[in-house]
């Protein structure tokens, strides 16, 4: 799963360069410039990527220390 997430993040990094929209002046929903709309979707996809990291690729050291911290807080 970690590899899938890494590839997803690399794909996002590459897809940031929206050269195919750079001179597209059309307005989505009549008010939103197309490149701006694209980057809004990009932002949501970035948040989804980080959600996947939290869910499936949380680092082991942080997990161990997180549990230790919670136990210490309870005592």
Partner 1 sequence: MTQTYIVIGYLCLLLALGYVSSRFFRGSSNDYFVASRSIGPVVLFMSIFGTTMTAFALIGSTGEAYRVGIGTYGKIASWSALIHTACFFLIGLPLWSLGKRNGFHTQIEFFRARFESSKFGYILFPILIGLLIPYLLIGLMGAGSAMQGVTRGAFPELFPETNGAVPAWLTSLVIAGVVLYYIFAGGVRSAAWANTFQTIVFMIMGFLAFYMISSKLGGLEAASAMADAEKAVRAGNIGELQFFSYFLIPLSVGMFPHLFQNCLTAKSSKTFRLTFVAHPLAIMLTWIPCILIGLWATGAVMPDGVTRIIPEGTNPNSVLGIMVGKLTSPVIGGLVTAGILAAIMSSLDSQFVAVGTMFTKDIVVHSFGADRFSEKQMLWIARGFVTTIVVVTYLFTLVEPRQVFSLGIWCFSGFAGLFPLVFAAVYWKRATKAGAYAAVLAGGITWFLLFQASGYGANRSFLIGGAMPVVFIFLACAAGMIIVSLMTKPPSETTMAKFFPNKS
What is the rounded distance in angstroms from the CA atom of residue 52 to the CA atom of residue 14?
Answer: 19
Contact 70, 37 (CB under 8 A): no
Q: Is 16 left (phi over 0), alpha (psi -120 to 50) or beta?
A: alpha
Site string for partner 1, 30-69 (x = CB under 8 A): xxxx-xx--xx-xxx-xx-xxx-xx---xx-xxx-xx--x
As measured in angstroms, the least distance from the Cβ of 70 to partner 1 is 6
Applying CB under 8 A, the residues found at the interface with partner 1 are 9, 12-13, 16-19, 21-25, 27, 29-33, 35-36, 39-40, 42-44, 46-47, 49-51, 53-54, 58-59, 61-63, 65-66, 69-70, 73
């Amino acid at each position: 799963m970690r590899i899938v997430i890494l590839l997803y993040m690399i794909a996002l990094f590459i897809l940031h360069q929206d050269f195919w929209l750079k001179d597209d002046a059309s307005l989505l929903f009549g008010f939103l410039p197309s490149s701006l709309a694209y980057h809004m979707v990009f932002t949501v996809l970035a948040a989804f990527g980080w959600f996947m990291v939290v869910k499936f690729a949380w680092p082991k050291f942080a997990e161990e220390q997180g549990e230790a911290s919670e136990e210490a807080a309870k005592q």
